[in-house]
Structure 1
Amino acid sequence: MSSDTLAHGHVFLAPGHERSERKTWAVIWLCGLMMVAEIVGGTMFGSVALIADGLHMSTHAGALLIAALAYTYARRHATDPRFSFGTGKLGDLAGFTSAIILAMIALLIGYEAVSRLLSPVPINFNQAIPIAIFGLAVNVASAWLLSGGDHGHHHGHGHPHGEAEGEDEVRRVDTVWGPLVLEVFEDGVPPRFRLHDGLGGVEPASAWMGATVETQRPDGSRQLFRFVDRGAYLESIEEIPEPHEFDASLSISRAGLEEFHEVSFEEHDHGHGEPNAKTHRDNNFRAALVHVIADAAVSVLVIAGLILARQFGWLWIDPLVGVVGALVIANWSFGLIRDTGAILLDMNADGSLAKRIREALEGDGDRLADLHLWRLGPGHLGAIVSVSTPATRDAGFYRAKLSRFGALSHVTVEVRPS
């Protein structure tokens, strides 16, 4: 029996972690300033409604504070060895906590709304409507600060380094001369292999006796790719035909020493299916945004209810709107609790990926005896695989097969003779 683990660090934070942290703190400052202004203004002008809205704003800021503190703590302790799998899950814990708070808010709104349906109370429309409009403006501004035009994904066919989607066609190779990167590059040009050190260059091609790549596709066809010096990198002369799904044998020769490396490429999915979206989703940021959007949605409902109640004398419509708002918030809260709870309990993070891992490893007598797949943080998955094989193969053989899955950040392979 043999086992092996991919060399890795334990920093499993989202690529935009610090940017999301700054946005969340900015919204907290906005809510804090509005809270102080409302409470001070309500005290000076004797408006109980204004004070009440200021206190409501304080609960809003408190919920966002959970997200901001989680971002800050996770960043500062990302390399702390006490966390066996890093601090990437701290955002999911914060999201779960925020979801519980949202559920409590929904219950309170629902209770108050039902109470007012049974025992209607007079409404001061001249105070309530402007305050509701003011609250909506604050929530819209908060949502704008949080989103900031960032959609969370980069679309298009080019694949720059470091982006979650681009990593589908980038493979790291550890050689005796140091780490190298073999990638399929197609950003505005016909797709070709590029070989470099990952930092933008390699030694002059004259230092290399040769580098070639031979691909083998699922149908058994093979193709040889030769490389030429492009200054900052070595590039294949031949273009790579679609689809980009094949096993690649990289041969590097230098100073009388020759190395061979096996890597696999998989045709990446340009769509954003639900399993992949959940893998990369930042639930901490999602929880903060849900708080803001939920508050904005309730503000819109409240404004509509108040206007109808004032226009037609329907006092019952205001608490009815409260019931609807409570149901909307409860639904969003349930979705957050379901998704973050699954992550905290280490449920299978991606059923589709688990199926593709099985397909990649099984064959030629090999059988996947055990698979554990869980989320370590946004865009980072951990996997423990146990393969039963009648052949003499080491863990490195199966590591190469798994290298095509860019989301696998922590992989342990166990090989058992069948």
Structure 2
Amino acid sequence: MLDTKLDDWQHDHNFYAANEHGERRTRYVLLLTAITMVAEIAAGTVFGSMALLADGWHMGTHVAAFLIAIFAYRYARKHANNPDYSFGTGKVGVLGGFASAVALAAVALMMLIESVQRLLVPQEIQFNAAIGVAVLGLLINLLSALLLQDHHSHHHEHEHHHRRDHNLYAAYMHVLADALTSVLAITALLCGKYLNWQWLDPMMGIVGAVIISRWALGLIRQFSPILLDCGMNEDDRDKIRRLIERDGGNQVTDLHTWKLSEHHFAAMITIVSRHPLPSEHYKALLSGFQQLAHLTIEVNQYRERHPRSSAGRPATKN
């Protein structure tokens, strides 16, 4: 055992970025959404509005999404320093956001199927009552959107690396999608009442399903690279290589980068050098890459490969 402190050679593996503000606001929105969900599903069933039912079902998935978000916050915080997680719990929020995006895609599919059925088999709608509940749902959605704005992130938007809480962002997108379905429902109900366009009610359900599915796919594309350990962009990788290789007599032979959380990268770099220096020297060269939170460098001595003597080799046949 080495009789010395090894703090300078040890890494911090806690890459969880706490957002107590976001967690608290998500709980408020969960309560509002659950109450509105029950009201809209009940009203849509009684009054016969597909647009209103779609809005209520959509809110039901939001309840599930907000529960996922709250669970992700608590789980990440509880296990932030658990050694069983090699690089901490920084990806828990991303996983929660991904699950919310999948739920958003599922409700879009459900809306589409039910809307097509209602388009083929129209049902009588009680417009006045349905419009009242839809307006109430829209007001709740707007209030929820205000609550879920990530003020912590916007406070740092002028920093070089803008930080976003993906868990909170997915919940925010759920609320925006719900606000959209509320607007579509109100539009369809008003047109049905005053223009007798009852076909517009299920048609708006279809339009909402298409738009929401596009949002869901966008979220999935955004979160998937983080969960699949995609690396830094090509420009940043090239900058890393140039910084090391222009130092003199160095060659980067292996370079791997991957995301540890929304905001942190890890890197493993293998260097071959004619005049190798301690790894701290090469880490200092990369100090400008603040997103590199965990850096491992292997340095190898370059040795000339002398050609083997031809003596003793069997003669080649012509």
Question: TM-score, with normalisation over the residues of structure 2?
Answer: 0.83
Given candidates 41, 51, 66, the residue that maps to 2:68 is: 66
User: Are residue 102 (structure 1) and residue 104 (structure 2) matched?
Assistant: yes
Distance 1:112 1:307, change over 3 A: same
Match of 2:124 in 1: 122
List per-residue Cα deviations over 1:146-202 (Å, max 9, x = no partner).
11655534255xxxxxxxx3xxxxxxxxxxxxxxxxxxxxxxxxxxxxxxxxxxxxx
State whether residues 343 and 349 of structure 1, in contact with CA within 8 Å, keep that contact through their aligned partners in structure 2: no
Q: Is the 8 A contact 1:77 1:87 kept in 2?
A: yes
Deviation per CA, 1:214-266, whole angstroms, max 9, x where unpaired?
xxxxxxxxxxxxxxxxxxxxxxxxxxxxxxxxxxxxxxxxxxxxxxxxxxxxx
Change (3 A) 1:138 1:63: same
Counterpart of 1:152 in 2: which secondary structure? helix
Inter-partner Cα distance in structure 2 for 1:350 and 1:392:
27
Q: CA deviation at 1:330?
A: 0.7
Deviation readout 1:352-383 (Å, 9 max, x if unpaired): 33232222222223122111111111221111
Equivalents in 1 of 2:184, 2:47: separation in Å?
22
The 3 A distance-change label for structure 1 pair 398 and 288 is: same
CA gap of 1:41–1:330, structure 2 versus 1, over 3 A, is closer
Match of 1:381 among 238, 246, 265: 265
Task: Report the equivalent of 2:3.
Answer: none
**Higher mean Cα deviation, 57-66 or 297-306?**
57-66
- Separation of aligned partners in 1, 2:177 and 2:216: 10
1:347 aligned partner: 230
- Counterpart of 1:403 (choices 255, 276, 287) is 287
| Partner secondary structure for residue 26 of structure 2 | helix
Match of 1:147 in 2: 149
The alpha-carbon deviation at position 53 of structure 1 amounts to 6.4
Paired AA for residue 11 in structure 2: H
For 1:172-211, list aligned pairs within 5 A: none
Q: Which residue in 2 is equivalent to 1:196?
A: none
- Asked if 2 retains the 8 angstrom alpha-carbon contact of 1:12 and 1:378, the reply is no
1:6, 1:411 within 8 Å by CA — same for their partners in 2?
A: no
- Alignment-derived partner of residue 336 in structure 1: 219
Partner of 1:211: none
Query: Where does residue 308 of structure 2 map in the other structure?
Result: none
Q: Deviations over 1:328-353 (max 9, x none)?
A: 11111111111212111111144433
Q: Which amino acid aligns with 2:171?
A: A
What percentage of residue pairs aligned between the two structures are identical?
43
How far the C-alpha of 1:59 sits from its partner, in A, is 3.1
- Match for 1:288: what amino acid? A
Q: CA deviation at 1:100?
A: 1.0
Question: Which has the bigger relative contact order, CA under 8 A and spacing at least 6?
Answer: 1
Pick the aligned partner of 2:244 from 347, 355, 361.
Answer: 361
Q: 1:349 to 1:304 in 2, by over 3 A?
A: farther
Unaligned ranges ≥5, structure 2: 1-7, 303-318
**Residues 1:317 and 1:6: Cα distance change in structure 2 (over 3 Å):** farther
Q: Counterparts of 1:17-416 in structure 2 under 5 Å?
A: 17-35=19-37, 38=39, 57-147=59-149, 149-154=151-156, 165=159, 280-363=163-246, 364-416=248-300
Residue 286 of structure 1: CA displacement? 1.3
* Alignment check: 8 A CA contact 2:40 2:137 kept: no
Per mean C-alpha deviation after superposition, the further-off stretch among 370-379 and 67-76 is: 370-379
Count of residue pairs the alignment pairs up = 292
Richer in strand (by share): 1
**Shift in alpha-carbon separation, 1:34–1:309, aligned structure 2, 3 A:** closer
Q: Distance in 2 between matches of 1:80 and 1:145?
A: 31
